Structure 1
Amino acid sequence: MTLARAFPDDATGWWIFLGSFALYVLGRWFFAWRQARRDGDSHPVRAAFAEEDDADAIHAVTVGGFRSYRQLFGFAGSAVITVLVAVLTDGGLRTALLWTVVPLLVTALSYVDFRQARQARSGG
């Protein structure tokens, strides 16, 4: 019996892992910056970096570690899509699709999380 690994063992796996995390963070900052600009903030970059989930605005955790069903379904759907691409394709096509689909899914998840945090702060 083999155990599932939590972290990659090689440098390439770590770069992919860290790149996905960095893309998520950059996506959240971009969406916060864009919202601050849209709201007419005089310092949208400062507002984007100050963007944090307010502990008082967030209510009880709804579904496991997710705050909404959209987050749960977004995460599960992204995992299913990634696994399907990895299983149903091979070689260069797999690489091209994963390098295209995974960043899009990570960015979409950062947008869903940004919207959820914004709704929690506004009380809606």
Structure 2
Amino acid sequence: MYLARGSGGDADGWFWALGALALYALISYGLAYRARTRRGSRHPAHDALHDLKDREEPQAPGQRLVSRVIMLVGGGATVLVALATSGALRAAAVAGTAAVAVTLWAYYDHRTETPAGRR
């Protein structure tokens, strides 16, 4: 029975998927760090880490929901690309998908941020 034996497919695909999520988190942190540095934060690394968690949101609840959906869809797409590709193409596809997803997420957050949240 096929189901009893498992898929027998690419076992390191899961490691690539985890790596894709780590890359996605690293890119997200980098963008938050860059934003904090541009705003003149005295502790940009610490503030960027806190920006990744749910703190005081500079967005309305509806905009925050859309932002989180963009984030989750981008992460899911990155994982799917990691699982669906192999070889040398995998690294380029994962990095490209993660970069595009995080860029879209950051752009949406930047465009919907209130002036009070930019301080």
TM-score calculated relative to the size of structure 1: 0.58
- Whether 2:104 is the aligned partner of 1:104: answer no
Question: Structure 1 CA distance, aligned partners of 2:22 and 2:60?
Answer: 24
- Whether 2:9 is the aligned partner of 1:20: answer no
The 1:120/1:39 distance shift into structure 2, 3 A limit, reads same
Asked whether the 8 Å contact 1:27–1:111 carries over to 2, the reply is no
Structure with more of its chain in helix, by fraction: 2
Q: For structure 2, list consecutive stretches of 5 or more residues without a partner in the other structure.
A: 4-8
| RMSD between superposed Cα atoms in Å | 3.7
Post-superposition Cα deviations, 1:67-106, rounded to whole Å, max 9, x if no partner, equal: 27xx49x85xx68xx5xx95xxxxxxx6222211221211
The 1:105/1:116 distance shift into structure 2, 3 A limit, reads same
Q: 1:115 is matched by which residue type in structure 2?
A: Y
Paired-residue identity, %:
24
Aligned length: 99
The 1:99/1:32 distance shift into structure 2, 3 A limit, reads same
Q: For structure 1, list consecutive stretches of 5 or more residues without a partner in the other structure.
A: 4-8, 87-93
Question: Structure 2 CA distance, aligned partners of 1:59 and 1:11?
Answer: 40
